Amino acid sequence: MDRLPPAVAELPPLAPEALHPALWFGHQLGRLQDDALASGFPALDAELPGGGWPRRALTELLLPHPGVGEIRLLAPTLAEAQARGRLVMLFDPPAALSAWALLQLGLDLDQLLVVQTRARTLPGSDSLWACEQALRSGHVGALLAWLPTRLRAERLRRLQIAAQGHDGPAFVMRELAEAQRPSAAPLRLALRPDGADVLSLRLLKRRGPPLERALRLELPPALSEIAQQRARAGQAKALPAATFVDLG
């Protein structure tokens, strides 16, 4: 067998990312920089592959209960999507949302659509089917969905496939107990409250090495003093909501 010339044989091996941007060493974070959106929290971006929330991929947030700060965590990214003229869709939030709080977080209510697929008037509705259609439509900048319990793995896999064609972030909220089960989502995080306006965050799965320590993120206050006064006075504006949207 012919031998390589000495000058060629002495060349160092190519780094994986030089062969393809989707390759990396096991001790590295994935480097899909073009597919990442800054989270607004530098400490978190430093630990996310590509330096931010992924586009064209599903991000799974596992919660002990809804309302631990998930919307405040995602608000900078959602506001950025709206600044680009894109719609933000929220599927099946478990409680009424405060319009004043969303405004304080920088969100535009005119570019925010709340979709309730589990209304009693639609007993046969399918929230995952609706999410898939939204991701495939090309009309959505960012998507948040609170998923039903006891979700079959193949249903989540279908959602991940739909997210691969979605040019934006897609977040799904699930119960913390799901951390013990495998998931098709390439990025999984567990969130827990850690004091007033503080969130403890553990990266359970990412494209890269595991992160053993938890991150502590300071969240913006849920309501400013003025917003709290208006909310107490019953002046909060109702959010627009839809029970069904056909994006096919």
Q: What is the DSSP string of the chain?
A: -PPPPHHHHTSPPPPHHHH-TT---TTSPP--GGGEE--S-HHHHTTSGGGSEESSSEEEEEESSS-SSHHHHHHHHHHHHHHTT-EEEEE--SSPPPHHHHHHTT--GGGEEEE-S--TT-TT--HHHHHHHHHHHS-EEEEEEEPPSS--HHHHHHHHHHHTT-SS-EEEEEEGGGGGS--S-SEEEEEEE-STTEEEEEEEE-SSS---SPEEEEPPPSS-HHHHHHHHTT-PPPPPEES-----
Range in 41-50, 97-106, 107-116 with the lowest mean pLDDT? 97-106
Q: Which two tokens stand for residue 79?
A: 């506001």
* pLDDT, average across residues 185-203: 94
Mean pLDDT, all residues of the chain: 82
Q: What is the pLDDT of residue 29?
A: 47
CA 217/CA 118 separation, integer angstroms = 32
User: Averaged over 20-48, what is the pLDDT?
Assistant: 70
pLDDT at position 33? 47
Residue 70 Cα distances to 32, 134, 192, 199, 243, angstroms: 24, 21, 10, 9, 23
What confidence tier does 117 reach under pLDDT thresholds 50, 70, 90? confident
| Cβ count near 226 (within 10 Å) | 10
State the CATH architecture for 36-205+214-242: 3-Layer(aba) Sandwich (3.40)
Kindly list the domain boundaries of the chain, sorted by start residue.
36-205+214-242
**Mean of the pLDDT values across residues 201-205?**
96
How far apart are the C-alpha atoms of 206 and 48, rounded to whole Å? 7
pLDDT single digits (tens) 137-180: 989 999 999 998 888 889 999 999 999 999 999 999 999 999 99
Cα gap 242→198, rounded to integer Å = 32
pLDDT band for position 190 (cuts 50, 70, 90): very high
Supply the pTM of this predicted model.
0.78
Band (pLDDT 50/70/90 cuts) for residue 225 is low
Task: Give the residue, 2 or 27, on which the prediction is more confident.
Answer: 2
Q: What is the pLDDT of residues 87-107, one digit of tens each?
A: 999 999 998 888 888 998 999
137 close to 165: Cβ distance less than 8 angstroms: no
Rg over alpha carbons for the chain, rounded to the nearest Å, is: 20
